[in-house]
Amino acid sequence: MNFYKSRRIKQLPPYLFVELDRKKAEAVSRGVDVIDLGIGDPDLPTPDFIVKSMAEAVQRPEYHRYPSSAGMASFRKAAARWCKKRFGLDLDADTQVTALVGSKEAIAHFPLAFVDPGDTVLVPTPGYPVYHIGTLFCGGNTHYLPLLRENDFLPDIDSIPEDVLQGARILWLNYPNNPTAALATKDFFAKVVDFAREHEIIICHDAAYSEMTFDGYRAPSFLETPGAMDVGIEFHSLSKTYNMTGWRIGFAVGHPELVGALKKVKSNVDSGQFEAVQDAAVTALDSDQSCVEEMRRIYTERRDTLVSGLRDLGLDAPYPKATFYVWTPVPDGYGSQEFSNFLLEKAGIVCTPGNGFGEPGEGFVRMALTVPADRLKLAIDRMKAVL
């Protein structure tokens, strides 16, 4: 029997991290001691007090039934409290907050509410692949906005052609940024609000790394910007903040109509997150956040170890002020893929080629700070031995 796949499936590019896993597995099967700086999955455990909260919650029979796709009221209220304390946002937990099965699912699902076949979505590149994939699943067209070093890895929204703007429905932003670790200024966000109003374009801000910051830097919410609540929605994740990637829990906040439309999509495609997980997430959000400070301390040490070593090797690696990624130029004479393959084959180090996130990422690799400092030192020693 022939199984004919849909056009949308045939158009999907290979998912970047699946290919990385394949190459890593091949190296491990050869007996290589692989140092994996590829996928951004924290190696640190979820804090004990959150795990204990989950262990208690999972025993509650009332949590064993179908949850609401919009999330428990207690979780939505906790998310609103956290946003008030962290960003000064005043949110109605009923109309401006919804629970997510991790922010990835919502990023993929949100365009279903606002993008028709033939509509355009403005997507930064290099960037998180799901912005484009969600567009593709709607039958929409992706117009890429290059993130260039000379522009501080901010999109040049003034360069978008008028005919593209006429069909554009959504602009995706992500700051602190994956993969470049770039930051957005308040002036840039203010410009984006004006842009959205002028062209009637929805702003979707992926804020997954808002709490992974260093050197005293405080990442702003897009929704802090005057007027942003009129044009935008913001996606938050507990994955990186509390080392809860496998728990799949997050929340979206913003304009009631945007949040409401996302809720409607979700009510038709998922049955919500297990309420015991939401209960544990309330514990995390309402905590004193000392666990987040400890996370920052650990990643700061790792960042300093890796970047100082890369600089000793002559690479122009910046010290990022946010995310747990180092976006470094490759040595002269290498392309992104070539350098990534070289490090894996000669040094047993996995890193992500920058062009895997989009063509403008060529000439860079992304290294994740998801291994202990002593392993990062070993990675540097291996690089010194082969470069």
Is 34 part of a structural domain of the chain?
yes
Record the tokens describing residue 112, joined without a space.
């279903």
Under 8 Å between Cβ of 126 and 179: yes
Give pLDDT, residue 16.
Answer: 67
CA separation for the pair 355, 366 (Å, rounded): 10
Is 1 part of a structural domain of the chain?
no
Q: What residue numbers bound the domain in which 324 lies?
A: 7-45+290-386
Is 204 part of a structural domain of the chain?
yes
CATH number at residue 97: 3.40.640.10
Give pLDDT, residue 13.
Answer: 76
CA separation for the pair 114, 314 (Å, rounded): 47
249 or 4, greater pLDDT: 249
Q: Whole-number mean pLDDT of the chain?
A: 96
Q: Does the model's pTM come out above 0.85?
A: yes
Is 81 part of a structural domain of the chain?
yes
CA separation for the pair 80, 199 (Å, rounded): 29
Same domain, 25 and 171: no
Counting runs of H as helices and runs of E as strands, what totals does the chain give? 13, 12
Same domain, 38 and 100: no
Reported confidence tier of residue 161, pLDDT bands at 50, 70, 90? very high
Same domain, 16 and 133: no
The residue-averaged pLDDT of 155-172 equals: 97
The residue-averaged pLDDT of 59-69 equals: 96
pLDDT in tens, 247-300: 999 999 999 999 999 999 999 999 999 999 999 999 999 999 999 999 999 999
Is 2 part of a structural domain of the chain?
no
Same domain, 202 and 305: no
Record the tokens describing residue 256, joined without a space.
């009631």
Give me the percent of the chain exceeding a pLDDT of 90: 91
| Number of Cβ within a 10 Å radius of residue 214 | 17
Same domain, 245 and 138: yes
Same domain, 339 and 316: yes
Same domain, 89 and 104: yes
The residue-averaged pLDDT of 197-210 equals: 98
pLDDT in tens, 74-88: 999 999 999 999 999
* Final residue before a domain boundary, out of 240, 256, 285: 285
Same domain, 15 and 70: no
Reported confidence tier of residue 39, pLDDT bands at 50, 70, 90? confident
Q: How many domains does the chain have?
A: 2
CATH number at residue 380: 3.90.1150.10
Can you name the residues that pair with 123 across neighbouring β-strands? 144
Phi/psi of residue 98, each to 5°? Answer: -140, 145
Same domain, 106 and 225: yes
Beta strands in the chain (DSSP E): 35-36, 97-100, 120-125, 141-146, 168-173, 202-206, 232-237, 250-254, 325-329, 349-350, 352-353, 364-368
CA separation for the pair 326, 369 (Å, rounded): 8
Give pLDDT, residue 28.
Answer: 85
Record the tokens describing residue 43, joined without a space.
């190696």
| Number of Cβ within a 10 Å radius of residue 51 | 14
CA separation for the pair 118, 277 (Å, rounded): 38
Is 66 part of a structural domain of the chain?
yes
Flag whether pLDDT at 213 surpasses 80: yes
Is 54 part of a structural domain of the chain?
yes
Alpha helices by DSSP H, 144-255: 162-166, 186-199
Under 8 Å between Cβ of 371 and 42: no
CA separation for the pair 336, 174 (Å, rounded): 22
Angle at 270 between CA 269 and CA 273, to 5 degrees: 160
Is 304 part of a structural domain of the chain?
yes
* Final residue before a domain boundary, out of 254, 269, 285: 285
Give pLDDT, residue 15.
Answer: 67
The residue-averaged pLDDT of 127-156 equals: 97
The residue-averaged pLDDT of 144-173 equals: 98
Same domain, 247 and 349: no
Residue 146: burial class (beta carbons within 10 Å; 0-12, 13-18, 19+): middle
* Final residue before a domain boundary, out of 258, 285, 312: 285
Can you name the residues that pair with 206 across neighbouring β-strands? 235
Same domain, 56 and 116: yes
Angle at 242 between CA 238 and CA 247, to 5 degrees: 60
Give me the percent of the chain exceeding a pLDDT of 70: 99
Give pLDDT, residue 176.
Answer: 98
Same domain, 270 and 313: no
